[in-house]
Amino acid sequence: MTASGPRLLLGAPIATEMRARLKVEMAAFRRRHGFTPTLAVVFVGRDAPSAVYLQQILRSCRNAGAVGRLVHLPAGETAAHLRREIELLNADPLVSGIIVQMPLPKRIPLSVVIDAIDPAKDIDGLHPRNFGLLALGYEGFLPATAQAAVEILKRSGIALEGRHAVVVGRSNVVGKPAALLLLREHCTVTVCHSRTVDLGAHTRAADIVVVAAGRPGLITGTMLKPGAVVVDVGINMVAEGIVGDVDMASASAVVSAISPVPGGVGPITNAILLQHLLRAARDQVEGPPDRRLRRAPTRHPAGSTT
């Protein structure tokens, strides 16, 4: 931390660089194949933070030269109708990628999405095939927000190898995949959740804290080690506007670096989704360059698996 406060891990400059390259690659894809990849975003209901996030995704599509298609179903829609909509998108050759915005209404189980979505179009890594590839260290589509949480650390020059990272949140969408990705970077990882006893005891021991719990102000400065690095993945709508899961004011007095909300992980998540979209489109029209399972990049010493 400097005299003026902690370093802000800003996602916008990173995302701008990613989108500039994507725009060139999208144009090349369009010239070669005669169509522009479409990202279909399925949204059920009227969750306010989700609506803000979806507009950011659609704007990112336009900026990168992709097509964004919003499929908005009313809050009272049935699970069967949601399944049919996903199946229609699976069958549409112009739709290269599909994401279903969370959270779903409580009466619609996540299994409806997982069972219905084509893993080849599942660019947010929900399908068991993609999640299994992640867990085993192979290349599949990674959950974009979890990938962005780690990417913002790597692209900001934060050392990861050998550091103690605590992930607060155990969802299949962010918490669990973020922990697996930090393990790939050779962090020692602790996963905490709503049943964790004395959460602060764990977070105060961490060099890196990734918070994805969906509870505004959950992590305060007294729960953090001096000099720690914090990635706030939370998106919460409160009276003052959109805030994260970390109390920014108290945390800023303690940490060396922190991602703001908004403006941190979100822009990178959107750019990563577009990277996944282009990869999916290429695989669908050209076929994967090697149909065998491909190991994700690793930095293990020769002969080591531990």
Report pLDDT for 45: 85
Q: Note whether 163 and 214 are same-domain residues.
A: yes
- Residue 72, Cα to own-chain centre: how many angstroms? 21
Q: Note whether 270 and 179 are same-domain residues.
A: no
**What's the token pair of residue 264?**
């941190």
Q: Note whether 21 and 103 are same-domain residues.
A: yes
Q: Can you give the C-alpha Rg of the chain in angstroms? A: 19
265 within 8 A of 244, measured Cβ to Cβ? no
| H or E element, residue 178 | helix 175-184
Rounded-to-5 percentages of helix, strand, coil across the chain: 40, 20, 40
Report pLDDT for 232: 98
d(CA 281, CA 25): 12
**Residue 157's domain is classified under what CATH number?**
3.40.50.720
Q: Note whether 207 and 228 are same-domain residues.
A: yes
Residues of the chain with pLDDT below 50 are 301-303
Within a domain: residue 17?
yes
In the block, residue with structure tokens 């780690």: 150
Report pLDDT for 122: 97
- Residue 120, Cα to own-chain centre: how many angstroms? 18
Evaluated on CA atoms 108, 272, 289, 134, the torsion sign reads negative
Report pLDDT for 46: 77
pLDDT tens digits, one per residue of 264-304: 999 999 999 999 999 999 999 987 655 555 667 655 544 45
d(CA 111, CA 101): 14
Report pLDDT for 301: 45
205 within 8 A of 182, measured Cβ to Cβ? no
Q: 174: closest CA among 229, 228, 219, 231?
A: 231
Range of the domain at 167: 143-265
The pTM of this model reads 0.91
**Residue 16's domain is classified under what CATH number?**
3.40.50.10860
Report pLDDT for 2: 57
Number of structural domains, the chain?
A: 2
Within a domain: residue 3?
no
Number of neighbours of residue 280 by Cβ within 10 angstroms: 23
Q: Note whether 79 and 17 are same-domain residues.
A: yes
182 within 8 A of 160, measured Cβ to Cβ? yes
Q: Note whether 48 and 113 are same-domain residues.
A: yes
Report pLDDT for 147: 98
**Sequence-distant (≥ 6) Cβ neighbours of residue 21 within 8 angstroms:** none
Q: Note whether 147 and 259 are same-domain residues.
A: yes
Report pLDDT for 48: 61
pLDDT tens digits, one per residue of 40-64: 999 998 766 667 778 889 999 998 9
